[in-house]
Structure 1
Amino acid sequence: MIITLQNDEIRPLPKKHSYVVAAITKHGVETARNLRKVFPNIDVYYMSKFAKGDEEALNIHLFEGSVRLLIPSLFHTYKGIVFIISLGAVVRMIAPVLKDKKTDPGVVVIDDKAEYVISVLSGHIGGANELTREVAAAIDATPIITTASDVQKTIPVDLFGSHFGWTWDSSEKLTPVSASVVNEEKVAVIQESGEKNWWIYPSPLPANIHLYDSISQALQEEPKAALVVTHRILKEDEEAILQNGVVFRPRVIVLGMGCNRGTSASEIEQVIIETLDELQISIKSVKAIATIDLKKDEEGFLEVAQKYDWEFVYYTPDELNEMPIDDPSDTVYKYTGAYGVSEPAAKRYSGDNQLILGKKKSGNVTISVGMIPFDE
């Protein structure tokens, strides 16, 4: 199929993958086709005048008209775009459709001789820097990345812990905290939970990055900026750290749960919210709901887990009975084959026999709260 471009309105594209490469020259077409061999999960668009006759069989898309008219649809459809077009032309073409770094796709440019691969837009959050490295390695080209944190091999604040699934509470201070990091000002990293192997470079941690065990300890040292990694809701006297700080939420909390058959998702969700509020734990740090296999089809659990993008795991009675619990119940055993559900499920998933909260019953729901420990 040939797409005829006549205006720049956003039109649906025949998307099959998350990444796309677009070319408008003879040499660019060859590079695009070569990339498709290395990355089969990438869509390819190029001008119909360079068609070789096998495009339909290869699911390559052809277009007629100015590539500029294709830009809005590419931005709307894909999370990563590789242009084999001059950098200046790409900058001019994408300028009208740019929004912000949290929503714009990653944009990468390859020169016509395929000697350089340049990260142009959304290097961190949009993934352009990583895409640049991968594409450059695939075509034996030189990657060009100008993001300060990458060049200086320091913490990329907007991506800190993202490969573990960490999320930030607010993006308000991302830019000033990033500035403190790259300008080599004193930066505190306070980590109370989550994966410890977040430093990705073989070189030592930069001298301006200081590690602290607690927020109170960090505040005494008066850092210019702070990165706080915790599952906790900060106390009032700790919030001063956020004057130029960002809180990151590692996904470390497991909710061991049981319920009466047919309990509504709204009741289950309310118990979860109330329990986490009582414990002063962020819901953003929840990783999973764990229960017994008798509840694997419990609609309320499934609905809540899907809503929050949590894992939903279940164990056999024998697996649950392997875990130590303080108050085994013969009644629960009679109906389920397990001496408990919420407590042993939380312990089994977290890998820790010490729970933040033992079994708590609320209405039709029982809940226990555990935390996944991470060693150095």
Structure 2
Amino acid sequence: MRLAIISVSNKGQELAIDLKEKLDLDSTIIRCDLYHKNVKKYFPLLFSEYDGIIAIMASGILIRSIAGLIKSKVTDPAVLNIDDNGRFVISTLSGHLGGANELTNKIAALIDATSVITTSTDVNRKLGIDVLARDLYLAIDNPKEILYFNKAILEGREISLTVNPNKNFEYLFDYLNNVTLEINVSIYYSSKMNIDEILVSLDEHEMILKEKKIVVGIGCRRDKECRYIYDGVKKSLKDLNILISRVNMFASAEIKKDEKGILELSNKLNIPVSFVEIDKLKLFESNDISKSEFVKSKFGIYGVCEPSALIMAGFDSRLIYKKTSYDGVTIAIAISN
């Protein structure tokens, strides 16, 4: 997640600096930038450039600043509101699809504050269909139907989920079995369904949830054993609450195409691996990737795991887990848009 923290007072700025230091240690936070004052100037930029905005200011200032920028629950960034004393963290905008509710709980824990969440499904301990989609990294083809399905869930009505029987949906079943929020669903199978889609239906209402492509980028020292690579992958996915069965692909640089540990892991988990050509890695540019001078001096490229994951996830993909090292293994995770 790319975050911006904006403050207006000196006290708020101090809290922003402290919070950034904590967030920079979190592998799921790809970038965290600070802004101070000039809210009219900065908010239009923040809405277009960041996944989440943490506004340390009075709620009135925040609401007046973003009112003209709000467009859709599908595209608007997560917006959080924190008071100068850091007592309350309020999920203000894009609680579900934007991830504001989840981020609110994370930030509140970091600064020992009280989280405030007001979305209906959450306060009633129900699993919103948009929460399910976000948690499982699924795109929603018809977001206008979210309100209908969430209202039905609040009323305790049964939702139908239809999937292709030839696809491993272990991640979906595991999620439904372990989630602490309530939802009443029945699972149906149809070979007419596309293999990467889930049909949600009730009465005459339907929506399609489609898998976004999740790519785990891997870098490692020469001859690194499979078990160590697997440990790094598992730890990274655990931080994101992603089951291994939800991963679509592994990726690395072509200089790693003979690494037995990576090939063995691919075979073991039945997850394909792609090795990206050095020329593509040299040409690839992104403001979100870290650059290693050591890797550059040795291989002529600035990195392996992050650019490999982004390239294989496709155009306009984004990192959801920045380069993290695990005993000679580096892992990054990207997702298609």
Range into which the TM-score falls when normalised by the shorter chain: 0.5 to 0.7
1:175–1:113: structure 2 CA closer, same or farther, 3 Å change rule?
A: same
Alignment of 1:102-117 (within 5 A): 102-117=74-89
Partners of 2:179 and 2:248 lie apart in 1 by 29
CA contact (8 A) 1:19 1:43 kept: yes
Equivalent position to 2:195, from 213, 231, 248: 231
CA contact (8 A) 1:161 1:198 kept: no
Structure 1: unaligned runs, 5 residues or longer? 1-16, 48-65, 217-228, 253-284, 298-312, 323-345, 352-376
CA contact (8 A) 2:197 2:209 kept: no
Equivalent position to 2:186, from 196, 211, 235: 211
Partners of 1:175 and 1:212 lie apart in 2 by 21
Name the structure 1 match of 2:270.
350
Partners of 1:97 and 1:251 lie apart in 2 by 27
Name the structure 2 match of 1:243.
204
Aligned-partner SS, 1:180: helix
Deviations 1:146-170, CA, capped at 9 Å, x for gaps: 1122222222212324344333343
Deviations 1:270-303, CA, capped at 9 Å, x for gaps: xxxxxxxxxxxxxxx993599xx9xx97xxxxxx
Partners of 1:202 and 1:241 lie apart in 2 by 21
CA contact (8 A) 2:7 2:13 kept: yes
CA contact (8 A) 2:2 2:50 kept: yes
Aligned-partner SS, 2:174: coil
Larger Rg: 1
Matched, 1:171 2:132: no
CA contact (8 A) 1:230 1:250 kept: no
Partners of 2:210 and 2:162 lie apart in 1 by 12
CA contact (8 A) 1:28 1:84 kept: yes
2:116 partner amino acid: I
Deviation at 1:71, TM superposition (A): 1.3
Matched, 1:136 2:111: no
Partners of 1:110 and 1:34 lie apart in 2 by 13
Alignment of 1:89-108 (within 5 A): 89-108=61-80
Matched, 1:43 2:33: yes
Aligned length: 230
1:122 partner amino acid: S
Aligned-partner SS, 2:76: coil
Alignment of 1:189-208 (within 5 A): 189-191=161-163, 192=165, 193-194=168-169, 195=171, 196-199=173-176, 203=180, 206=182
Aligned-partner SS, 1:197: helix
Matched, 1:21 2:5: yes
Q: Percent identity?
A: 27
Deviation at 1:349, TM superposition (A): 5.8
Deviation at 1:116, TM superposition (A): 0.3
Report the TM-score when normalising by structure 1. 0.50
Report the TM-score when normalising by structure 2. 0.55
